[in-house]
Structure 1
């Protein structure tokens, strides 16, 4: 499949959109770390910001959960480290919620 050729305007729009999504994810991670929102709230959201977020980054954003703990939780549940939230199955979501609550 060939990569589509984009005009300069289309490239700029794509860059703006990507920057906005990254900024929103950073805000979301900060809210998780400070306890303003919960993991359950994030998992129930169905927007583009949450769907593309990696599960590992979500877990690392939680208070008192570092890289090793996040990887251990994912290994216990059977979630690959590269998995994004949109790719989680219902059993994986339920197991993740029960492990964290």
Structure 2
């Protein structure tokens, strides 16, 4: 079965969606400490403190985080009201 012809706009949209899916899949494979350390002003010591407070193992990858483990570090970086 042949694919239907796509307009340039449809092609660009499909390529953008594919790139986004690829990036998010790669991001899920990153270890949590490496992700934290990639943030500005977060070094190894601060990353370790955040992991300890959130009860996250150093060997944990982003895709392996539970709901509460994802929310705890995010609360730390949320803007204060």
Relative to the length of structure 2, the TM-score reads 0.65
Divergent runs of 4+, >2 A: none
> RMSD between aligned alpha carbons?
1.3
- Cα distance in 1 for residues equivalent to 2:65 and 2:43: 21
SS of the residue 2:46 aligns to: helix
Pairing 1:6-17 to 2, within 5 Å after superposition: none
Output the CA distance in 2 between the equivalents of 1:83 and 1:54: 6
CA distance in structure 1 between the aligned counterparts of 2:31 and 2:56, rounded to whole angstroms: 11
Query: Which of 39, 59, 76 matches 1:62?
Result: 39
Q: Secondary structure at the match of 1:47?
A: helix
Q: Residue deviations 1:15-38, cap 9 Å, x none?
A: xxxxxxxxxxxxxxxxxxxxxxxx
Higher helix share: 1
2:60 is matched with which residue?
A: 83
Number of equivalent positions: 56
Give 1:47 deviation, angstroms.
Answer: 3.0
Unaligned stretches of 5+ in structure 2?
1-22
**Hey, what's the Cα distance between the residues in 2 that align with 1:72 and 1:47?**
26
